Amino acid sequence: MQKHGEGPFSPFPIVSKAVSNIICSLCFGRRFDYNNSEFKKMLDLMSRALEICLNTQLLLVNICSWLYYLPFGPFKELRQIEKDITTFLKKIIKDHRESLDVENPRDFIDVYLLHMEEERKNNSEGSFNEDYLLYIIGDLFFAGTDTTTNSLLWCLLYMSLNPDVQEKVHEEIERVIGPHRAPSLTDKAQMPYTEATIMEVQRLTAVVPLSIPHMTSETTVLQGYTIPKGTVVLPNLWSVHRDPAIWEKPNEFYPNRFLDDQGQLIKKESFIPFGIGKRVCMGEQLAKMELFLMFVSLIQSFKFALPKDSQKPILTGRYGLTLAPHPFDIIISKR
């Protein structure tokens, strides 16, 4: 960010690469240089895939699956993106298989491959195979990059629009951490205002507004409504987080709604940005850690603002499979 000096710049590519590299470290055992052409291409493809996934024509694939194979339009583009990303991930798995050290597993892929080998030796009929490995790391790469990236971008946007809140967050950082030490997760318990600010951004933006499609495993009765077995259910997290019956002035940005009279954090039952129940987002803990550490690091280092005379950004978001902010530029000044 400092390379941009005092001029306006888009935080999107920088934040996306930083967040994605955390997933890459866990899954692939390596980070990618920000200028790595293959890495940049994968992130661009992923972003485009999420954009076109809610194309009206593509939604019809849920009814007529054969539409997916049509040789034109978004169907053809999505298949090509899937093919390119699969090639990228298969190459990484192949490299891991060829350099696997049984005594020193480096990452998730190594541990998975070792478990596969163990099952093979024991002649057990397990579900661990390379096809599943491909799907799993694909899910982690997609879900672990896009959602946290968008949450962090929304945080920067709301801080730029609300300098008073940004300064309160910075004051708490100065009091608890100081200007030089890197933030730690152990600081989180002493920083209720910072955490309340992150939570308020998550409430207002609901990065995955319709959660992830779920399906009833048996016929269920919920509040008098019968939901047949095999019904696809889309939980509307957006409406829960904007419900005026639950939240006072739900469309206003007000972090203090998550704090009590003593300034301590309040856990609200209706705050469910990661979903709820047995099928809650499996990346919740990782995402919370990333958001806190990266957000605090950035506010500790920089003051964020919108360029002078710039139009106020649209706060409704761009809806793909996730809710991303519309493109915006920021300017930074070193603290």
Measuring CA to CA, which residue among 334, 322, 333, 317 is closest to residue 158? 317
* Cβ contact 292:196 at 8 Å: no
How far is it, in rounded angstroms, from Cα 174 to Cα 108? Answer: 36
Find, among 208, 230, 160, the residue nearest to 323 by Cα. Answer: 208
In the structure, what pLDDT confidence band is assigned to residue 191 with cuts at 50, 70 and 90? very high
CB 204 within 8 A of CB 165: no
Residue 56 has pLDDT above 80, yes or no: no
Dump the DSSP string for 286-315.
Answer: HHHHHHHHHHHHHHHHEEEEPPTTPPPPPS
User: How many residues does the structure list for the chain?
Assistant: 335
User: Using alpha carbons only, what angle is made at residue 151 by residues 299 and 15, rounded to the nearest 5 degrees?
Assistant: 65
Please determine, for residue 63, whether its predicted confidence score (pLDDT) is greater than 80: no
Least confident stretch, 102-111, 205-214, 217-226, 251-260 = 205-214
Q: What mean pLDDT is reported for the chain?
A: 90
pLDDT value of position 114: 93
232 beta partners: 215
Q: What is the pLDDT of residue 258?
A: 97
127 and 83 in contact (C-beta within 8 Å)? no
Q: How many Å apart are CA 165 and CA 124, to the nearest integer?
A: 57
Residue-level pLDDT at 295: 98
Q: Write the single-letter amino acid at 248.
A: E
Q: What is the pTM of this model?
A: 0.90
CB 269 within 8 A of CB 203: no
Q: Do residues 37 and 29 lie in contact, with contact meaning Cβ atoms separated by under 8 Å?
A: no
Q: In the chain, how long is the greatest CA-to-CA distance?
A: 68
- Alpha-carbon gap, residue 268 to 52, rounded angstroms: 34
H or E segment at 159? helix 130-161
| Gap between the Cα atoms of 17 and 13, Å rounded | 6
Residue 53: pLDDT band (50, 70, 90) is: low
Q: 268: buried, middle or exposed (CB in 10 Å: 19+, 13-18, 0-12)?
A: middle
> Which tokens in the block code for residue 16?
């996306």
Task: Specify the fold of 2-334.
Answer: Cytochrome p450 (1.10.630)
Question: Residue 122: what pLDDT?
Answer: 80
